[in-house]
Structure 1
């Protein structure tokens, strides 16, 4: 079996579990490829991994059966961008903070390897949001969580003229606008008042960021919808983000947003439940009476 591993730095408390993971992978003679930045970090920290293969760009990723993300949710989002349209299944080990998407704790790495080797897992397919009409991110014009437009300065708001399936929806006078997938509904959109969607809802959420008009609220639309955005700003530009990737764009750039033609495939352990994660990570419904 071949696997790829991408990661960032980790706390010293996670070190024994990570060293144990590489020893177990070597014992099972599993072929491992590391992202270059993670390989450099492991070498600097003196973590033995016995991996001779590295990838620097997504195109260098070898024919892995699966990809392991080692970090927090941000690292898993980055890993999904490496996989892209190849749709290699990915699993996240949480050596970061929240771990809403990366749900495998370091203590369970050994159980995870056994489950992966024995095929005791399920594949959870997730919708991706994509920029359809311009290439802003060198071919990585998709995101698992959300697409976001925000202002580039700290003063004036921007105006986002929004069209839904070529019909005028609204002009959002706000600090920005989020178009979130169901996966991203527990992220930035939630902090701006958006609803939580279960992962397989076939919808997007259009959520304004600090809207000037208080009667403007988040809107749930079908994920087959096409959203066209025209932005006006006093600074003549705005910031576009897909998950953790961002860049400044000229206000003359119109953007078309739709569902990507491929999906992210997340590996979930058989006892991993979205509702359990919702309660444990976000204290959903926490009540002393329960």
Structure 2
């Protein structure tokens, strides 16, 4: 850091008293090595720090990413939630890793630039168009590089990053993609056909989604942090961002995949 004192911001999930207590422990430990401030993630303003420590679950990581809005600051996730796929450290792991964890080289995670009307956002996991209201089929047109591809009929469509490939897209039948690969995933949600399968698109693809008709209410969700109504005649454009989300990892991706999602287990054969 060129002799300057490192600035660390600790944020926590304000809905969790456990996260708040863990954040105070983390702040006390970090303060021995850096200037440290702390705030609830929902009450933080503009982030001005060299490193952010997000204490909570994956939702806390995503909220932190939206506060950063594409600014490339390393984020360390401390898990006090349930699954914690992105929050790789326990509080004890983190404290035992000080001060090296604050200087660790982060993984550069691909992000999405998402725009609708005059608004725009960055996404770490995904952006999706989903039906809301009564359980009617949503019809959503997919364009890639301004060329019409298909009309999905179902509950919606998810466009995910490789990081988001282990989130909602995975639950909808999408493939797992390692974070170092720069591609866009297009995964239909409960398609009303046997032939609509997920697509893997190159990093320079520009995806456009739009309601095919006005019979079903449709909303745009960005990382579960933004919910906006999308009406017939409007469209959502999604492309790979020039910015990256910098995530400090404790262990290799496939280890996390096995320990968190029990991926790749061997069959348990009975005795013959």
State the TM-score, normalized to the length of structure 2.
0.88
Q: 2:141 aligns with which of 156, 161, 170?
A: 161
Q: 1:110 aligns with which of 95, 100, 109?
A: 95
- How far has the Cα of 1:107 moved from its partner? 1.9
Decide whether the 8 Å contact of 1:78 with 1:244 is kept in 2. Answer: no
Q: 1 CA distance for matches of 2:59 and 2:25?
A: 24
- SS of the residue corresponding to residue 9 of structure 2 reads strand
Q: How does 1:58-207 map to 2 (within 5 A)?
A: 60-62=46-48, 64-117=49-102, 119=103, 121-132=104-115, 134-136=117-119, 139=120, 141-207=121-187
Specify whether residues 84 and 155 from structure 1 end up closer, same or farther in structure 2 by C-alpha distance, changes over 3 A only.
Answer: same
- How far has the Cα of 1:133 moved from its partner? 5.5
Q: What do the CA deviations read for 1:23-64 (whole angstroms, capped 9, x no partner)?
A: 223333x222333x359xxxxxxxxxxxxxxx733xx322x1
Answering whether residue 25 of structure 2 is matched by residue 20 of structure 1, we say: yes
Answering whether residue 8 of structure 2 is matched by residue 3 of structure 1, we say: yes
Q: 2 CA distance for matches of 1:227 and 1:208?
A: 14
Answering whether residue 234 of structure 2 is matched by residue 253 of structure 1, we say: yes
Residue 287 of structure 1 corresponds to which residue in structure 2?
266
Q: 2 CA distance for matches of 1:267 and 1:258?
A: 24
- How far has the Cα of 1:11 moved from its partner? 5.5
Specify whether residues 186 and 134 from structure 1 end up closer, same or farther in structure 2 by C-alpha distance, changes over 3 A only.
Answer: same
Q: What do the CA deviations read for 1:186-231 (whole angstroms, capped 9, x no partner)?
A: 0100111100001111211110001111111111111210112221
State the TM-score, normalized to the length of structure 1.
0.83
Specify whether residues 97 and 198 from structure 1 end up closer, same or farther in structure 2 by C-alpha distance, changes over 3 A only.
Answer: same
- SS of the residue corresponding to residue 277 of structure 1 reads helix
- How far has the Cα of 1:98 moved from its partner? 0.3
Q: What do the CA deviations read for 1:134-161 (whole angstroms, capped 9, x no partner)?
A: 344xx5x111000100011232111111
Long gaps (5+) in structure 2: 1-5
Aligned CA RMSD, in angstroms, stands at: 2.2
Residue 253 of structure 2 corresponds to which residue in structure 1?
274
- How far has the Cα of 1:268 moved from its partner? 2.2
Long gaps (5+) in structure 1: 40-54
Q: 1 CA distance for matches of 2:19 and 2:242?
A: 40
Q: 2 CA distance for matches of 1:104 and 1:134?
A: 38
Which of the two has greater helix per residue?
A: 1
Which of the two has greater strand per residue?
A: 2
How many corresponding residue pairs? 262
Specify whether residues 13 and 88 from structure 1 end up closer, same or farther in structure 2 by C-alpha distance, changes over 3 A only.
Answer: closer
- SS of the residue corresponding to residue 34 of structure 1 reads strand
Decide whether the 8 Å contact of 1:151 with 1:233 is kept in 2. Answer: no
Specify whether residues 183 and 13 from structure 1 end up closer, same or farther in structure 2 by C-alpha distance, changes over 3 A only.
Answer: closer
